Amino acid sequence: MARAICPECDVVFELIAPHLGQLVDCPACDQPLEVIGLNPLELDWADTEDDFDFDLDEDEDFELDDEDLDLDDDDLEDEIDY
């Protein structure tokens, strides 16, 4: 028996025979978890789709930068007219 802490909700629960890479569901929040360490017993989120969400956020910031560049181009055209 080994005690594990859910990284999602911090609840402590026991695993009977944990091994590295084992996939378990948190009994409190049903979060899919993976055993990443045995001494001490450590759990991490088994679902890695969060990484893709971070990439999408970066792309949104890049689009905002493009809008700023367009505003600069308009300013340059006004100067040429003078």
CB of residue 8 to Zn ion, shortest distance in Å = 4
**Positions that interact with Zn ion (CB under 5 A):** 6, 8-9, 26, 28-29, 31
Query: Which of residues 20 and 28 has its CB atom nearest to Zn ion in the complex?
Result: 28
Give yes or no for a contact between 67 and 60, defined as CB atoms under 8 angstroms apart. Answer: no
| Closer of 6 and 65 to Zn ion (Cβ) | 6
In the chain the beta strands, taken as DSSP E runs, fall at: 2-5, 12-15, 23-25, 32-38, 41-45
Q: Which C-beta is closer to Zn ion: that of 7 or that of 62?
A: 7
Task: Give the C-alpha separation, 46 to 25, whole Å.
Answer: 9
- Tell me the closest approach of the beta carbon of residue 48 to Zn ion, in angstroms: 17
Instruction: List % helix, strand, coil for the chain (3-state, nearest 5).
Output: 40, 30, 35
In whole angstroms, how close is the CB of 24 to Zn ion at the nearest point?
10
